[in-house]
Amino acid sequence: MEKKNFLNLSLSELGVGTYLGDLDEKTSQGYREVIREAFKRGVNVVDTAIVYRYMKSERDVGAVVSEFGRENFVISTKGGYVPYDVELGVDPKDYFYENFINTGIINIQEMTSQGHYLGAKFIEWCFNKSLENMQTDYIDIYFLHNPEEQLNFFSREQFLKKLEECFYFLEEMVRVGKLKFYGLATWSGFRVSPSSRQYLSLAQIVKVAEKVAGKDHHMRFIQLPYNLGMTEAYTLKNQEINGEKLSTLEACERLNIYTYTSASIYQGRVIGRVHQKLKEFFHLERDIHVALQFVRSTPGVGTALVGMSKLYHLNENLELFERPKIDQSTFLKLFQ
C-alpha cells in the first residue's frame, strides 16, 4: 500500500470509512474486522464521525486502535451535527436538552432544521466526547462536518465568524497536544459554483485560519465527494487563488492542503453502471476497480475513503491497490 507523506504524517492512499450500517453488534464486528485486516495490509487511515451510527462507529474505531497502538493510525473524526449516544438508551429529546440546551452549549436559534450547529463550545463538547469514544488522548485530523449547511440559514458574515470561533478552539487543541490538524469535511461546498449559496472559497477559509494562527495554521485538510459520477473537484474551476481560476484539487495543492475523497465508489452505486469503454481504458474488468482507479489516479487526490464493514469488500478493494495507478498523461486523455 502506497503511503503519502504530508507534513509530519504518512497516510495510506486508501482509507476505511465508517459511515453506513445498522446499529447491531454484527455491523460493529464487521467494521472492527475490516480495520484490523486493513491495518495488517498497510492501510492506516480511518475516518469516522461522532454521529456515525450514533457514536458506535467511533467506539469501534477506538477498540481496534487500542489493540494495535494509537501511533500506528491516522484517525479523523468530525463534529457539526447534534449527536446522540444510542448506548445510553435515553429519550433523544431528553439527551439533547440535558447536554446542549440546559447547559447553554447550543442556542437553538442558531441551529439549523437538520440539527447542524457551529460554535466553539459545541465543537469542544463533541471533540472531547470523540476522544472518550475512541479511547485516545489525541485526534490526527478533526473535521467540521458539512459546515456549508449553515449558509442555507445564516449570512456568510455570520458563517465566517463562527468558523473563526471554531478555528481558535481547534488551534488551542493543537497547542495542548490533543490535535494535529483540522479542516472541513463537506458534501457540496467545494463542488458548486461561486454563485451558489453553499459555495465555499478555499482562499477565504485559509484567510480565516491565517487570521487565527498565521501562516503556520493547522487547517490543512479537506474532505469532499469525488467519484465517476461527481467529478467537480477535478473538473470545475470554482476556486480563485491570486486571480487564477483553479479546481478545488488544484487549489488544495497550491495552498498545501491534503484532500480526502469521500463517496469514492458513490456508496456502491457505480456497480453495474461503468461503461465498457472505461473498463477498456483502464484495462480492468470490475466496476469497483475502475471506479477506484479513476479516483486514485486523479492528480491532487490524497486518500480515497471507502466505507467497508465486510472483509470481502476490503479484499476486493485491495486487489486494485496492488496495481499501479495510471500515469497523469494517460489520465488526462479521459477529459480530452
> For residue 260, what are the domain limits?
3-335
* Domain of residue 120, CATH code: 3.20.20.100
8-state DSSP, 99: I
- The answer to whether the CB of 117 falls within 8 A of the CB of 80 is yes
End-to-end CA distance of the chain: 30
Residue with cell 487563488: 241
- The tens digit of pLDDT for each residue in 162-173 reads 999 999 999 999
C-alpha triplet 155, 157, 163: angle, nearest 5°: 105
Contact 33, 75 (CB under 8 A): no
**Residue 268: its pLDDT value, please?**
72
Per residue in 184-243, pLDDT (tens digit) is: 999 999 999 999 999 999 999 999 999 999 999 999 999 999 999 999 999 999 999 999
- Which residues have a Cβ under 8 Å from the Cβ of 114 and sit 6 or more positions away? 81, 149
Domain count, the chain: 1
3-state secondary structure of 145: strand
This prediction has a pTM of 0.96
CA nearest to 95, candidates 62, 66, 55:
55
The pLDDT profile of the chain, 336 residues, written as one tens digit per residue, is 889 999 999 999 999 999 999 999 999 999 999 999 999 999 999 999 999 999 999 999 999 999 999 999 999 999 999 999 999 999 999 999 999 999 999 999 999 999 999 999 999 999 999 999 999 999 999 999 999 999 999 999 999 999 999 999 999 999 999 999 999 999 999 999 999 999 999 999 999 999 999 999 999 999 999 999 999 999 999 999 999 999 999 999 999 999 999 999 887 777 788 889 999 999 999 999 999 999 999 999 999 999 999 999 999 999 999 999 999 999 999 987
**DSSP reduced 3-state for 89:** coil
Give, in order, the Cα–Cα distances in Å from 278 to each of 60, 226, 286, 333: 37, 17, 11, 12
Give the span between the Cα atoms of 334 and 125, in whole angstroms: 45
Q: From residue 34, how far is each of 126, 192, 306 by CA, in Å? A: 25, 34, 11
